[in-house]
Amino acid sequence: MKHFRKLIFVCNGSDCKKAGAKKLNKDLKSLTDEAPFKGSCKFIKTKCMDMCKTAPNVIVGDYFCKKTTAEKVLLQIKKS
């Protein structure tokens, strides 16, 4: 049986930090520490993705989450 971890890229550039990327990162880590997601996600902090107008930005698989929240990212993780 194969076990895949989903890669989630969270922008930590200055504009995304101002828009709440640090809190988003904390929320995502605490939410994915619980039951169905535990051990299935790997968070990677990135530098600016050049999409600052839509901060905070997160990439889940091949989906780009703009102006996102932890809940929206979780929904996307469930879908992918």
Beta bridge partners of 6: 41
When the beta carbons of 15 and 27 are compared against ligand FES, the nearer one is 15
CA distances from 51 to 30, 32, 45, 59, 64 (A): 26, 25, 15, 12, 10
Residue nearest ligand FES (C-beta atom): 13
When the beta carbons of 25 and 57 are compared against ligand FES, the nearer one is 57
When the beta carbons of 24 and 77 are compared against ligand FES, the nearer one is 24
Give the residues lining the site for ligand FES (CB under 6 A).
Answer: 11, 13-16, 48-52, 55, 57
Tokens of 33: 């520490």
